[in-house]
Amino acid sequence: MSSRDGVTRPLPAFLVIPALIGTFFFLVPLIGLVARAPWGNLFTLLKSDIVVESLRLSLVSSTAASLLALLIGVPTAFVLARASFPGRSIVRGIVLLPLVLPPVVGGAALLFGLGRNGILGGPINSLTGLTLPFSIWGVIVAATFVATPFLIITVEGALRSADQRYEGAAATLGASRWTTFRRITLPAIGPSLIAGMVLTWARAFGEFGATVTFAGNLQGRTQTMPLAVFVALEQNRDAAITISLIMVGVSLAVLISLKDRWWRSV
């Protein structure tokens, strides 16, 4: 550990030992997963229908959810960070609620709100014939619902800490609000925006509870990788371990790629 005077000092044992124990606690399940992996049959399992179809659906739904989160999350974060209005804390609580809400409860709420007989889903179905539950659109909506708060909280924090003098100077020079936002604000929060997008994608990629409740668990249609693991644990444990390894690898790569971007923004 380096102090401000440049002298390296040893970390205190009363912190190092619990930290090592904590790291080991998180490492043991991963070791167990790797140890039980069917390495000799891994390539065959990777080509199986359940793995290929669930991977395809997970990639499509998480990417679509991330793009939707970008469209609605950045404006929401900007309003929460820069605007002052009555009930702002209530609005923030509502849009960040999925962070702490049990995913199954979120899925049930989506079902009653956007389902075929929901308060909004019913009229949509009557006018357009579109039914969100038990479709890829339902998977995307569920993933967007649970993942968007990660983008909002990251971008809002970045906007609050950004130096607004540059935006003021641009406005003084005649730049429109859109030009200022596009040329000044977005580049200033770029690293945090990227970190928020990556976290949003990763959360959407691993979503289970809201998806199974709102969109169902239909192989080739709504069965994403977490849902495939749930099914395969009872039918084909080797396939379940294979899918789990893919998800662990992807999630770990995402977190490593963030480096210090996320941790500086919270």
154 touches 192 (CB < 8 A) = yes
Where on the phi/psi map is residue 6: left (φ > 0), alpha (ψ -120 to 50), or beta?
left
Burial class, 19, CB count within 10 angstroms (exposed 0-12 / middle 13-18 / buried 19+): exposed
Q: Could you tell me which residues come within 8 angstroms of residue 265 by beta carbon, excluding any fewer than 6 positions away?
A: 154, 157, 158, 191, 192, 195, 196
The tens place of each residue's pLDDT in the chain, 266 residues long, gives: 555 555 567 788 888 899 999 999 999 999 999 999 898 888 888 888 889 999 999 999 999 999 999 999 999 999 999 989 899 999 999 999 999 999 999 999 999 999 888 899 889 888 888 888 989 999 999 999 999 999 999 999 999 988 888 888 888 888 888 888 888 888 889 888 998 999 999 999 999 999 999 999 988 899 999 999 999 988 888 999 999 999 999 888 888 877 665 555 55
Helix (H, G, I), strand (E, B) or coil at 8: strand
At 247, the amino acid letter reads: M
What pTM did the predictor assign? 0.88
212, 108 Cβ separation under 8 angstroms: no
